[in-house]
Amino acid sequence: MGNKGNDGRIDYVEFNVADIAASKAFYGGAFGWTFTDYGPEYCEFQDGRLTGGFTTTGPVGSGGPLVIIYADDLEQTQARVEKAGGKIVKPIFSFPGGRRFHFADPDGYELAVWSQQ
């Protein structure tokens, strides 16, 4: 965490999850994220730009900040999310500057995916 020159930018996102293997399968399948395990209770993920972690050391729950993921092809990404086991909670909609949808991951976290197109 913490990279010089990134002051004030999101640097890390951490999720309390019930099952690290299931979370890796979901986010790896839906978005192609890669992972580094640090023991049975912690796994770091890399999405190619942002780093974060999955941990089983805290209570699982939905809520917290809305994490938004960018996608070049929104429909294709939505299909991958659904195939990986995500539930669409807000279908694709337009907003000034692009379009997005919201989904819940297998642990109930709500996230969004947006695209400029």
| Distance (Å, whole) CA 18 – CA 2 | 27
State the Cα torsion 18-19-22-27 to the nearest 10°.
70
Q: What is the pLDDT of residues 30-53, one digit of tens each?
A: 999 999 999 999 999 999 988 999
Domain 12-115 of CATH type 3.10.180.10: yes
pTM: 0.79
Q: What is the pLDDT of residues 58-117, one digit of tens each?
A: 888 877 778 989 999 999 999 999 999 999 999 999 998 899 999 999 999 999 999 988
